[in-house]
Structure 1
Amino acid sequence: MIIPSTQSPASATATLDVDAVLAKLTLKEKAELLSGIDFWHTAAVPRLGIPSIRLSDGPNGVRGTRFFNSVPSACLPCGTAIGATFDTALAREIGHLLGDEARAKGAHVVLGPTINIQRLALGGRGFESFSEDPALSGFLAASYCAGLDDKGIAATPKHFTCNDMEHERMAVDVIVTKRALHEIYLTPFRLAIADGHVPAVMTSYSKVNGTHASENTYLLEKVLRGSWGYNGLVMSDWFGTYGTSEAVNAGLDLEMPGPSRFRGSLLTHAVNANKVSIRAVNDRVRNVLELVKRAQATGIPENAPENELNRPEDRQLLRRLAADAIVLLKNDDQVLPFAPSKSVAVIGPTSRIATYCGGGSASLNPYEAVTPWEGIEAQAKGALSFAQGVYGHQMLPLLGKRMRTDDGQVGFSLRVYNDPPTGPPTPSSPDTRPLLETKHVTDSNMFFVDYNHPDFNKNGIWYADAEGTFTPTESGLYDFGLSVHGTGRLYVDGELLVENVENQRLGTSFLGSGTVEEVNSKTLEAGKTYRILVQWGCSKTSNLVAGSMIDFGHGGMRIGACRRLTPEDGIAEAVALAKTVDQVVLCVGLGAEWESEGEDRVTMDLPPNTDNLVAAVLAANPNTVVVVQSGTPVTLPWVGQAKAVLQAWYGGNETGNGIADVVFGAVNPAGKLPLTYPRRLEDNPAHVNYRSEAGRVLYGEDVYVGYRYFDRAGIEPLFPFGHGLSYTSFSLEDLVISQAEASNDVQVSVKVTNTGAVAGSCTVQLYVAPPVWEPRRVPAVPQRPSQELRVFDKVHDLAAGASAQVTLNLDAKRDTSYWDETVDSWCSREGLYRIRVGQSSRDVNAVEGTLTIKETTHWQGLSP
């Protein structure tokens, strides 16, 4: 196997002569360059000056090279939160921050952004992507990628394509028309590649129309490299390669992660057997070398150390992002903003939990994570109080940061052994096993995907003890939970409380490889210190057959605990408190265990008992703002009762401060919904076919995704796509459409006026509606959506009473086109198109005009 180079940084930054190096590589070296050597690094060839380069997740921030005990990072608001900003300039700033974070982590390539389309609110990774709309997703992605490129870092838009559900994600066959494929699912990638300087693309896990994306010649060769002329690198998703010859011949350059399962000696054999041509291998290697050459230009040394950045200006940007993403869904009677001087009660299951990120590979260890309580506390000047209400967890809240080490540090000690434990140590029976190492850990959700020790047993079996103390602040019955990918036992003061060894039950933890959370309870006294010990064995100690097709290495363990609280008691306490204060901030939502890679949700509902809490508190105090934190829409059965509702998403490191800034009016909300908010799950066309059945999923809604369907079917959403209120108001008028002769360039100008009392930002959205064709006259023209977002822009900080002229640039051919399946190309059909410019997809005050397309034309490529 090729190993990482140990050459000096100076030699590593020398310019790589791709043609010369390619000519000197042996077939064995070429084959090994086409896969990673571990989870995060490519192969090196020191004799030819080819260094190893580092890749790192991802869309929400740059993790570095470790899932377990990673170096802290800047965690961005989730993808849908970024989508809610409708702000391409801000997306470019995000790219700049990620570029600097990548340099701090020694990474040359960032695995993001995620730009798949949310067909339905149930997708486990829906929070990662920007929007249900391809134009919004594509333009934001282009700016995000360009921002990374400004810093010399390679972006990797993913997952190419139709990777929008988790159910049987590696086996399911996505059946989709070519029209929907091009108009909806490929368009974000096309726009990103056209304008974003994209050096790498990652393929999806699933099949698309019968062939896995990583082996799909239509997607990779005909569309990506052929029609679009893309000359960058194509890599697989992690473990998303399924064969040797098929993937290489289809155009997949890099298999990740390593060590390789399908290349190396298997590829050299395929070449010798004439299943893969040496020309195909050379094409693949050339793309890898070009990416390596690009990485060398960054000056980031090979195998660089990982560091924290955490600059004050970055914290300010993250706080601005968290606030700018928040969508004011409702504000009857101008309940918001709250007065900081008045009394405030903070209530709800997500109040004192930092719901900063969704779950799976997008999650990471943040520099800090500010809770809503902490954000409100920092700005409130009147009396402040708290009530839990109900719990909103699916698994018990993590215990790690509530534990202490023997020397008083936050967290616990993790001791690593080769030998199994014989039970909890006692004074008469101390632990005499040889200790490999001890680590100080604060996160009790430990995923040992990329953890290793040089002295591990050759059979790969090892053990770990997690130990610390816990001192409860309240007396009562406490539930303790243990979920493992492996085996484990949890002890409290030497008493075996939870055993998760025999008769294990497969759950959703650890991306579908772990057990359900096994729970037991114990009565604890406030102020008394208890010793918590978990004795864990790696994945090879378990007989449980994992539900995932991916081998996640050594396994993991998750330790949780909390005081038991009945919903009846919790709601009664919350209601009593709400009646005593002037204002209530009621925090509810989902989180990383509800929305996570590995499993789709089965319902749009909030966690059990949440809706009862909300209804009761609203009845007790109508001066309440309900703050919803979720990555995708949830049902809101009490919305008619609520006067003020905020959609706050997962806000990253500064989530609590961003919420407080909007609640108290330090920031005037300007977010817009990047997803239609349906009244109920059944209102969405994809709800009847959103799972793998007999190994396939039918995209039966075709191009009618999101608002396109709601418009076509005449269904009133709870909140429409593009909706979002402000503490001020805006009017749009004086629409002027200027169409250059013999050019595709069209300028649409509109005057925006702040008609309210405070400064604010306004998002201007331009939708194009197609002509109404007579089917008997033009039978080849398919039905089209009633309107489609084509362009948007944002006016920032417009003063009360002030006006600004906004000019939106249309491409007449591109923005009037549909995919013509009769000729397999884009078609701009002659006719009179209606232009609508408004503040949402359902804005009744939108201004309108027309655009004339004089002749029908067909086109291919990234743009006409």
Structure 2
Amino acid sequence: MSACPKHYVANDSETERYSVDVQVSDRALRELYLYPFERAVEAGAWMIMDSYNGVNGAAMSDNPLLAEPLKGEWGFDGVVVSDWGGVRSTAAAAGGTDLCMPGPPMLWGEPLLEAVRNGEIDESAIDEKVRRILRFATRVGALDGIPWPTLFFTENHARNVVRRLTTESMVLVRNDGTLPLRTGTAVAVLGPSAAEPRIMGGGSATVIPTHVSTPLAGLRAVLPVTHTPGVRLIEGLIPAPAELVTDPEIGTPGVRVRYFDGETEIGSRHRGSAHLVLLGDELATRATHMDMHARLRADVAGDWQLGFGGTGRVRLAIDGTEVIDENVTDAAGDPVAALMEPPQRSVTRSLTSGQQVDIRITIDVPEALPGLGVLLAFLLGIVRPQRPKDEEFTAAVELARNAEVAVVLVGTSEKIESEGADRTSLRLPDRQDELVAAVAAVNPRTIVVVNSGAPVEMPWRDDVAAVLLTWFPGQEFGDALANVLTGVVEPGGRLPTTWPATIADVPVLNTTPQQGVLEYTEDIHIGYRAWLRAGTEPAYPFGHGLGYTTWTSSDLRVSGRTASLTVTNTGNRTGKQVFQAYLSRPDSTIDRPIKWLAGFTAITLAAGQSRTIEIPLPRRAFEHWTSKGWATEPGSFNLHVGTSVADLPHTVTMN
């Protein structure tokens, strides 16, 4: 297995993403946009994916930046792979991309062979690509006769690791003392993300886990809970949860997927998820059609929507009766969207609580694509019974009024945060802001959990007891959230971005290409640097994050390029803090940020414990890029240390 950092480089806008040309200075490229890839190469990445966009006039699939600094100066000896469809021509094979995806036949198959024979592309360029691909195959153990260690781990071990990483990533940005919750606290769990959370990004970031712990399930396991969403964010079907569907062949949670060649069954598999995505499935290449079969158990009485997502000829049978037989097409004409979010069809059935229904979806298998095999996605989907919207909203407010604590889970949808499009607003969709405000008005102990991948406006933030940012936290979301809210563990994250009070405050806002060009006019002043330059106070600054204990720090010293600081956990429980170091150079003769991050160190201490910590300050933090390479401006730098870019109580001068 190999890490594959992506997308190299300056792939920061999804508007016109296949064709936009990013115009950016060499200094900004070197100091900011290339730097993460430089670190990844130093850490030993074996593959890097280049991006769709161009940079300074050349498409990234054959941009000179693939040669220098990537393969030359940095010494990257792995494989550069294109994004799917990112290679535009056969001639691009003379450049730095080594592997054309989703496969070589169209541009790098026979056309490339002919170009080499005609002398249009030097054969040595192809030899170099082959060497890199074979080296990669050797590293991942894909070549016969080369021993490679096998890693063994149990499902419980994997889930424990994921759960720990999830709690480490959560960022508590506000807490009036309501958190952590004591055992037995009666909680109203509200909001659209409680039962239907976003656990990952949309598009190519989507994978289908066999198990998902929802916030509702996680909190119900440790606290007395009442629940209603108040607002429903997801429109349409959701994949039937594993706890509601049973594989009729073996009786365990999940579905049965069968492959047919005509009338002959050629394969059968159990799947833990009712959402199936096939990319090059070997058995599917021999099948004419497939079916997904399950027994659904209604957990509440009412009108259920039962249906499917998929394209091509799809049939739906309920209790043995066919209710839909349709040739479904994707109106948008986007094959990637059709794969990740296939069109849906459904019927309504009135079910009693506990009633079981037999559901079978049959879908024709499309022809295999050269170099790719069969690409197919389909799902068995449901929508639970719902109250009218206003009635549902009112019910949520009443639950909050009668609970000790209200936990409101809000967030974005896959249509808002996904590859292929940029957001046009930072507001939470639908009536979520209204829901939080209404709940906070009747219960001062309101905790808001924000389930989004990037900043959103939070106009109610000063009116609630606590705000916890969870990002897209993965399959262990619910159990991890329960551990954080009840104080089993602290939220361990600190803000990697600046969160604005309103979109009008954002200093770098216009990212729409003009006539196919996107100019990075802000140059090196991005993120928190741009906020410092604008002088606008955000809702929550870069680096901010709270825990469940208190800290003091003192005695900042510098020796060489290492800062040291004495820190003490002054609270009554073990806790974590992240101490951050920033540099400034007010008298600089070159354009610089007001402050810039130079290093940080995380420390965990028991209650009452003190320790002297060190923060390494890399040489690069003092350097700037010039036409002649890296340079250090002689003279003194100010070093500032604290717990966010806006909380830096310690300053010393470094010469």
Match of 2:601 in 1: 793
Provide the residue aligned with 2:440 in structure 1. Answer: 618
Match of 1:210 in 2: 57
Shift of 1:785: 1.5
Q: Kindly state the Cα deviation for residue 751 of structure 1 after the two structures are TM-superposed.
A: 1.5
Query: 599, 615, 622: which is aligned to 1:816?
Result: 622
What residue is the counterpart of 1:251 in the other structure? 96
CA–CA separation in structure 2 for the residues paired with 1:300 and 1:157: 28
SS in 2 for 1:243: coil
CA-to-aligned-CA distance 1:541-576 (integer Å, 9 cap, x gap): 9xxxxxxxx989433223422123333222222222
Moved more, 307-316 or 646-655: 307-316
* Aligned-pair CA distance for 1:246: 2.3
Residue type at the aligned position of 1:441 = R
Residues 483 and 517 in structure 1, CA contact (< 8 A), matched pair in contact too: yes
Say whether 1:535 aligns with 2:369.
Answer: no
Q: State which drifts further: 336-345 or 550-559.
A: 550-559
Gaps of 5+ in 2: none
1:102-501 aligned at under 5 Å gives the runs 109-110=1-2, 155-194=3-42, 196-217=43-64, 219-247=65-93, 249-258=94-103, 260-296=105-141, 309-332=153-176, 334-353=177-196, 355-366=198-209, 368-380=211-223, 383-399=224-240, 401=242, 402-407=244-249, 408-418=251-261, 433-453=263-283, 456=286, 462-480=288-306, 482-493=308-319, 501=327
Q: Secondary structure at the match of 1:687?
A: coil
Distance 1:267 1:538, change over 3 A: same
Query: CA–CA distance in 1 between the matches of 2:425 and 2:325?
Result: 31
Number of residue equivalences: 649
Contact 2:330 2:338 in 1 (8 A): no
Q: Which amino acid aligns with 1:817?
A: E
Please list the CA deviations of residues 230-288 of structure 1 after superposition, one character each: whole Å capped at 9, or x if unmatched: 333322233332223323x2222223343543334333322221122233223222222
Tell me the CA shift for residue 667 of structure 1. Answer: 1.1
Residue 394 of structure 1, CA deviation: 4.1
- Give the distance between the partners of 2:46 and 2:492, measured in 1 at CA: 33
2:565 paired with 1:750: yes
**Paired position in structure 1 for 2:505:** 683
Q: Which amino acid in the other structure matches residue 668 of structure 1?
A: E
SS in 2 for 1:184: helix
SS in structure 2 of the partner of residue 159 of structure 1: strand
Partner of 2:579: 764
- Partners of 2:517 and 2:132 lie apart in 1 by 32
State the Cα distance separating 1:480 from its structure 2 match: 4.3
Deviation at 1:489, TM superposition (A): 4.4
SS in 1 for 2:480: helix
Partners in 2 of 1:718 and 1:630 — Cα distance? 16
Q: Residue 418 and residue 303 in structure 1: after superposition, are their counterparts in 2 closer, same or farther (change >3 A)?
A: farther
Which letter maps to 1:329? V
Q: What's the RMSD between the two structures over aligned residues?
A: 3.2
Residues in 1 aligned to 2:421 and 2:269: alpha-carbon distance in whole angstroms: 31
What secondary structure does 2:12 align onto? coil
Partner of 1:841: 645
Question: Which letter maps to 1:831?
Answer: G
- Of 534, 538, 543, the residue aligned with 1:722 is 543
For 1:811, the aligned partner's letter is P
1:312 is displaced (CA, Å) by 3.9
Aligned residue for 1:285, secondary structure, equals helix
Counterpart of 2:576 in structure 1: which amino acid? S
Counterpart of 2:216, as a letter, is: W
Three-state SS of the structure 2 residue aligned to 1:815 is helix
Percent identity for Structure 1 against Structure 2: 33
Amino acid at match of 1:469: R
Q: Distance in 1 between matches of 2:427 and 2:229?
A: 19
Q: What TM-score, normalized to structure 2?
A: 0.90
Structure 1 pair 451/681, CA: closer, same or farther in 2 (3 Å)?
farther
Decide whether aligned partners of structure 1 residues 406 and 367 sit closer, same or farther in structure 2, where only a CA change above 3 A counts: closer
Note if contact 2:292-2:361 (Cα within 8 Å) is conserved in structure 1: yes
Supply the distance in 1 between the matched residues of 2:281 and 2:608 (Cα, whole angstroms).
59
Deviations 1:83-120 (A, max 9, x none): xxxxxxxxxxxxxxxxxxxxxxxxxx32xxxxxxxxxx
d(CA) in 1 for partners of 2:304, 2:213: 25
Return closer, same or farther for 1:836/1:454 CA change in 2, 3 Å cut-off: closer
2:493 is the counterpart of 1:674: no
**Structure 1: unaligned runs, 5 residues or longer:** 1-108, 111-154, 420-432, 542-549, 740-745, 853-864
Q: CA deviation at 1:216?
A: 0.7
Query: Separation in 1 of the partners of 2:380 and 2:148?
Result: 32
Task: For 2:334 and 2:502, locate their aligned partners in 1 and report how far apart those are by CA, in whole Å.
Answer: 25
Which deviates further from its counterpart, 362-371 or 291-300? 291-300
Contact 2:188 2:399 in 1 (8 A): yes
8 Å Cα contact 1:180/1:703 also seen in 2: yes
Following the alignment from structure 1 to structure 2, what is the Cα–Cα distance between the partners of residues 680 and 301? Answer: 57
What displacement does 1:834 show? 1.6
Between the aligned partners of 1:202 and 1:789, the Cα distance in structure 2 is: 27
Supply the distance in 2 between the matched residues of 1:719 and 1:661 (Cα, whole angstroms).
Answer: 24
Q: Which residue, 647, 650, 653 being the options, matches 2:472?
A: 650
Amino acid at match of 1:390: V
**Paired residue secondary structure (2:286):** coil
- Measured after TM superposition, the shift of residue 646 of structure 1 is 0.7
Instruction: For 1:399 and 1:230, locate their aligned partners in 2 and report how far apart those are by CA, in whole Å.
Output: 44
SS of residue matched to 1:674: coil
- Sort the Cα spacing of 1:795 and 1:504 in 2 relative to 1 into closer, same or farther, 3 A: closer
Is the 1:161–1:203 contact (alpha carbons within 8 Å) kept by the matching residues of 2? yes
C-alpha displacement of 1:620: 2.1
TM-score by length of 1: 0.69
2:372, 2:311 → 1: CA distance? 11
> How much does 1:763 deviate?
0.3
Q: Secondary structure at the match of 1:270?
A: helix
- Could you say if the C-alpha distance between residues 286 and 451 of structure 1 is closer, same or farther in structure 2, counting changes exceeding 3 Å? closer
User: Counterpart in 1 of 2:404?
Assistant: 582
**1:507/1:377 Cα in 2 relative to 1: closer, same or farther (>3 Å)?**
farther
Counterpart contact for 1:486–1:555, Cα < 8 Å: no
Q: Which has the higher strand share?
A: 2
One-letter identity of the residue aligned with 1:278: E
Give the distance between the partners of 2:470 and 2:379, measured in 1 at CA: 27
1: CA distance between counterparts of 2:207 and 2:332?
24
CA distance in 2, matches of 1:507, 1:391: 28
Contact preservation (8 Å) 2:407, 2:449:
yes
Could you say if the C-alpha distance between residues 307 and 353 of structure 1 is closer, same or farther in structure 2, counting changes exceeding 3 Å?
Answer: farther
Post-superposition offset of 1:504: 4.8
1:667 partner SS: coil
**1:505 partner letter:** A
